[in-house]
Amino acid sequence: MSDAELHALFDRLFPHGFAGQDVVDEIAPNGWQQSPLLACFHPSVERVYEEQVLMHRNLEALRQLRAPRDGTVVNVSASEPTLDDVRKEYEPAPVEADAEVTELLGSCLWDIFSDNHDVIAADGRLADIGSFRGASAFIDAHVTRDHDGSREGDHMRFYMGTILIGQRADLTPVYVMIFSRLKAAGADWVYHFPALGIVELPSGDQESTPSAPGYSVSRGAVAELDAQHRRAGMQRLRDDLADINARAQEAAMDREPPATVRAYRQVYGHDPRGWPPA
């Protein structure tokens, strides 16, 4: 689908905008101020504390992984935050309903249209709004576009969707609303399990080829040996990632499906293609 067709699809899905009263009525029937979704932008001090502790522990684990293995003493990291510490810095923010609903809907749309998933239009074409950052730019451009439809989007505004707020509230009602509108438009959705991958860029070293100026046999042999080591290392990394991805898929089968899958199931009456992951 062209950009113009994609914007037309979003206009059909949300004719009154991302924060239209129709959207609010569906995801927050008792009003935004009374909605559990409000916690996405106004978490409790206890929730902020939990998030800061988790962040601290993740950073500490990363620091330990990067620590020298020769016995060198590494500086001790800062102490873990306490609830009292968080309370001292916690400042409730005023509610801005339109902005918050817009941010939430845009982030949830990123979760469905991006993150390697596919939205299939009624005519069978792919509704591709771009890559990870490209999808964020498209959604932002749609929200903030001028009357003539032209504007460069913010590549980071909706990047990674709800990753920072998804644990603060159950987002299923938002996904249900989106899927209900996609279904009404004759569209479908294909789930893809998130997998770690690598992209190997060319080194750009032209000196190791016999035709390059200044080429020597000894330097060429060293360069080839280095290239072989790099290829072997990349293959080991690919094998490790394949093992990690396989274990992640296996572990996912022991947990509740993602909120996106649960919402799709609620709207369409069956699991999306791609779930459960093979």
157 vs 240: which has the higher pLDDT: 157
Q: H or E element: which one contains 224? A: helix 217-252
Domain residues for 208? 197-278
Rg (CA), the chain: 24
Specify the pTM.
0.78
Residue 172 has pLDDT above 50, yes or no: yes
Cα gap 138→3, rounded to integer Å: 9
Cα gap 166→115, rounded to integer Å: 14
Would 49 be classed as within a structural domain? no
Among 94, 92, 98, 93, smallest CA distance to 28 is for: 98
pLDDT tens readout for residues 74-94: 555 678 999 999 999 999 899
Residues 27 and 100 in one domain: yes
Least confident of 15-24, 142-151, 221-230, 244-253: 244-253
What pLDDT sits at residue 207? 47
Residues 19 and 103 in one domain: yes
- Could you say which of 163, 190, 217 is where a domain stops? 190
Contact 27, 174 (CB under 8 A): yes
Indicate the average pLDDT of the chain.
85
Would 23 be classed as within a structural domain? yes
The count of domains in the chain is 2
42 — pLDDT class (breaks 50, 70, 90): very high
Would 58 be classed as within a structural domain? no
Average pLDDT, integer, range 182-189 = 98
- Could you say which of 190, 214, 246 is where a domain stops? 190
Q: H or E element: which one contains 51? A: helix 45-65
Average pLDDT, integer, range 47-54 = 90
Residue 144 has pLDDT above 50, yes or no: yes
Residues 135 and 103 in one domain: yes
CA 179 → CA 134, 137, 170, 185, distances in Å?
A: 21, 21, 16, 10
CB neighbours of residue 171 within 10 Å: 25
Residues 122 and 220 in one domain: no
Contact 189, 112 (CB under 8 A): yes
Residue 68 has pLDDT above 70, yes or no: no
Residues 20 and 139 in one domain: yes
Average pLDDT, integer, range 25-39 = 97
Contact 176, 170 (CB under 8 A): no
Contact 263, 176 (CB under 8 A): yes
Residue 138 has pLDDT above 70, yes or no: yes
Average pLDDT, integer, range 131-142 = 95
